[in-house]
Amino acid sequence: TTRLEHSISVSYLSYRIAKKYGLDTRSTARAGLLHDLFYYDWRTTKFDEGTHAYVHPRMACENAKKITELNALECDIIIKHMWLATVALPKYKESYIVTFVDKYCAVKEVAVPLSGKVNNRLKNMWARLKTVQA
């Protein structure tokens, strides 16, 4: 998936969860869409300000502020979405939602294509075993 597809998925799923629990759907969806608005190859680019987990969300928040106004909730969601890789706890329920949905989507984006490859490989191995036994 692309970063845009990832951000749309995070935004929409977070929106649905926030709606189910009567939380701020607008801020949740907006921050979910903007949470990765800063990308670079973290394996080769280094910053003096800190680690990828520290720098990435802060730069995403700064970039988001350049294109739209953000409220305190949206800033917290964007800055804290790397929680578990950082120590600063999210302040709002919506921040936890986007944090966990982001991780869920990231794992799903890797696991689903990988499981298809593994499934195909197992089917091919099974077919070869059946022909050897026949």
Q: Is 10 a member of any domain?
A: yes
Q: Is 38 a member of any domain?
A: yes
Sequence-ordered alpha helix ranges (H) in the chain: 3-20, 25-34, 52-67, 72-80, 93-133
Q: Is 91 a member of any domain?
A: yes
Q: Is 32 a member of any domain?
A: yes
Tell me: the pLDDT tens digits for 10-31?
A: 999 999 999 999 999 999 999 9
Q: Is 56 a member of any domain?
A: yes
Q: Is 130 a member of any domain?
A: no
Q: Which domain holds residue 52?
A: 3-105
What's the total number of domains in the chain?
1
Q: Is 133 a member of any domain?
A: no
Tell me: the pLDDT tens digits for 39-69?
A: 766 677 677 677 777 888 888 999 999 999 9
Q: Is 67 a member of any domain?
A: yes
Q: Are 77 and 98 in contact (CB under 8 A)?
A: yes
